[in-house]
Amino acid sequence: MRSKHIYILTIALGALLTLAGDAIAQTSPAEGRNSLPFVSPIFGDNMVLQRGKPNTIWGWSEPGDAVRVEIAGNAVTAAAGPDGRWQAKIQPPPPGGPYTIRITGRQTVELHEVLVGEVWLCGGQSNMQLGLKFARNGAEEVKSANHPEIRFYIVRQNVAYAHADVPQGAWKIASPQSVAEGESGGISAVAYFFARKLQDALHVPIGLVVDCVGGTPAETWTSAQALRELKDFDAPLAEMQHLRTRGGPEYGNFVMHWYDEYDVGLKGSTWADPGLDDSSWKAVEILGGFSELGVADTPSVCWFRKEIMLPDPLPAGRAMLFLGSVERMDTAYINGQWVGASAWVENPRVYAVPDGVLRPGRNVVAIRVFKVKSQGGFLDKPDRLRLVLGDRVAVPLAGKWKGRVSVDARPPHPMPLGFENWPTMPSVLYEGMLAPIAPLAMTGAIWYQGEGNAERAFQYRKLLPTMIADWRRLFGQGDFPFYIVSLPAFGHRRDTPGDDAWAELREAQAMTARSVPNSCLAVSTDTGDADNIHPKDKREVGERLALCALAKHHGERTPYAGPTFTSVERLPGSLRLHFTHTDGGLIVKGGKLEEFSVAGEDHKWHWADARVEGDTVVVSSSAVPDPREARYAWQSNPAATLFNGAGLPAGPFRTDQWPGITETHRPD
């Protein structure tokens, strides 16, 4: 049975790649008036202003100060309020440029090479964050990324437990150098392909504000005010209020605060110190260490230390530490220096040892493990644990280690509300990364997220619409377009039909796109990778989002959706499924129409034979004489075979629990 953590933990890869110690979240600096900038950093050289509507520009000065904003001969004046914030609304000049914005007050600031076009907010988790160079044909795409009228601003990660004012980042012009710079592979690949298609079609500059963090659930991007209305997040919001009152680092997750409070191995001279006297520690086998330390069935943090001898001189080259798979979180040190950490359970640990950490002679390896499950901890065979030196000689790490319990979950050490060590707390990225850029004028938003909520798909039905309404309220520009990526294929294909968390999450996304005004769904089940939650197929995703924008917002007569199920007709021994968006007719890819299943009144599912008849699909099964319900692509990694003539795939659906779908009955 595949652990549900494959859905929750693997999504943090992008964030974990940039781990520093255990915490990846930045803390929010105290923002007194004197430290606030005259002009918010969301405005800068090379930026794009939104065409066709007033643009709000803001910053901070002394209360009462007059600030003048001028562009292309048009000028407005604003006064700083009691909190020092000034805010001016100015009509943009015609699309194109470049223009110069001049802002004068106690200071004078000029913003150069400013274009006017469309601005899009690009939000989500790691699949939105994944950079262009990691996409399919990424190296070639980077080389050809000469698009001076595509500009982008990547909002730097910032966790905040209360409202933050100042975003961090800079506007860049899309070029082969700029698109590949920074963490996670540079500019979001999805956002880049979206912008490129839009720019080719509209011939106006496109500005992208990329605001995403790997591994994060939707509630981190939603305000506490909006979440309280749902009543589902009262406990974590109360805990956040407690942590805010207590003070200290703002991690954005619960487990780091728990470590700070209870993990004695991190206090003072840490248990990673090579000079620590561990003579009183218990000698244990590394794979059975938790049992030998008396916490086999108890969630706990244990430390393990081992001395190894290395040759003199050390062989040249990068050394690598291999620890196999670990449940659930580990932090590795050598000679007191941090060398790696991970919370991705299924991923075997491989940590590059920084230069200068190893020494000839005595070395101390220390591993700190937070184990949650019974019999958790190190999961692989002893020979998987080794230090490989630069000359590829392996130093085995199996056998006896010194072990000690730092903290377990028994009273008085209550377990944290969550175990992830990346931002997962409600509202912390809304406050730290979204609120600071509002009310930036923009056309709309694109959203690629859901992996972090897949185990709570039913809740997502109300959470995602709540988040969208929250964003629209924050930016104050009406029901701006909001386009959603349906989750791609992932995981190993099931042999028998049944229920599935990712399919239910896709259903929640589709329900949102149907019910929320000015929204649209970009189906991506024909993209993905069974073994990689970060598929390389990003061009298809970005371009399908662009089709939503061109058709739904700009009114172009272009197909933007694949076959979309609308109604079911009961026939003797079969079901006829009706579709809209059959542009060019229904098309079967792969030679056979697969992934349909049917069930009778017993609700037992069987694979169905399916055939296209006009703009309908007829399904039946010899195992179900009187089919009552049907499903299509109802698993995490379905075989996507049903398309329309425009090359767009049908989204997963089911007739058994889909509100708003019509059903017609035909006499037997």
Does pTM surpass 0.85?
yes
- Residue for token digits 């506007």? 171
Q: What CATH architecture is 31-222+427-553?
A: 3-Layer(aba) Sandwich (3.40)
On the question of pLDDT at 5 being above 50, the answer is no
Whether the bond into 328 is cis, omega within 30 of 0 = yes
Model confidence at 419, pLDDT cuts 50, 70, 90, reads confident
CA 522 – CA 520 distance, rounded (Å): 7
Region 208-234 average pLDDT: 97
pLDDT by residue (tens digit) across 240-256? 999 999 999 999 999 99
Model confidence at 153, pLDDT cuts 50, 70, 90, reads very high
Model confidence at 30, pLDDT cuts 50, 70, 90, reads very low
CA 130 – CA 596 distance, rounded (Å): 32
Model confidence at 4, pLDDT cuts 50, 70, 90, reads very low
Looking at the domain 564-665, which fold is it? Answer: Immunoglobulin-like (2.60.40)
Beta strands at 386-388 and 394-396: parallel, antiparallel or unpaired:
antiparallel
pLDDT by residue (tens digit) across 262-285? 999 999 889 999 999 999 999 999
pLDDT by residue (tens digit) across 174-191? 999 999 998 778 999 999
Q: What pLDDT is stored for residue 488 in this prediction?
A: 97
Q: Are 226 and 466 in contact (CB under 8 A)?
A: yes
Classify residue 623 by its DSSP letter.
T
CA 8 – CA 452 distance, rounded (Å): 6
Mark out the alpha helices in 42-152 (DSSP H runs): 126-129, 138-143
What percent of the chain is modeled with pLDDT above 70?
Answer: 93
CA 458 – CA 454 distance, rounded (Å): 9
CA 539 – CA 550 distance, rounded (Å): 16
Q: How many residues does the chain have?
A: 668
Mark out the alpha helices in 270-349 (DSSP H runs): 289-292
Q: 3-state DSSP call for residue 519?
A: strand
Looking at the domain 265-408, which fold is it? Answer: Jelly Rolls (2.60.120)
CA 523 – CA 541 distance, rounded (Å): 8
CA 332 – CA 378 distance, rounded (Å): 13
Q: What is the mean pLDDT of the chain?
A: 92
pLDDT by residue (tens digit) across 615-642? 999 999 999 999 999 999 999 999 999 9
Q: Degrees (nearest 5) of the Cα angle 535, 541, 545? A: 155
Whether the bond into 41 is cis, omega within 30 of 0 = no
CA 459 – CA 438 distance, rounded (Å): 27
Give kind and range of the element (H or E) at residue 447.
strand 444-448
What is the residue extent of each domain of the chain? 31-222+427-553, 265-408, 564-665
Model confidence at 3, pLDDT cuts 50, 70, 90, reads very low
Q: What pLDDT is stored for residue 287 in this prediction?
A: 86
Region 39-63 average pLDDT: 98
Region 438-464 average pLDDT: 97
Q: 3-state DSSP call for residue 659?
A: coil
Model confidence at 440, pLDDT cuts 50, 70, 90, reads very high
CA 223 – CA 435 distance, rounded (Å): 9
CA 71 – CA 599 distance, rounded (Å): 64
Q: Which residues, including other chains, have CB under 8 Å from residue 523's CB and lie 6 or more apart?
A: 486, 544, 561, 562, 648, 649, 650, 651
HEC string for 624-657: ECCCCEEEECCCCCCCCCEEECCCCECCCEECCC
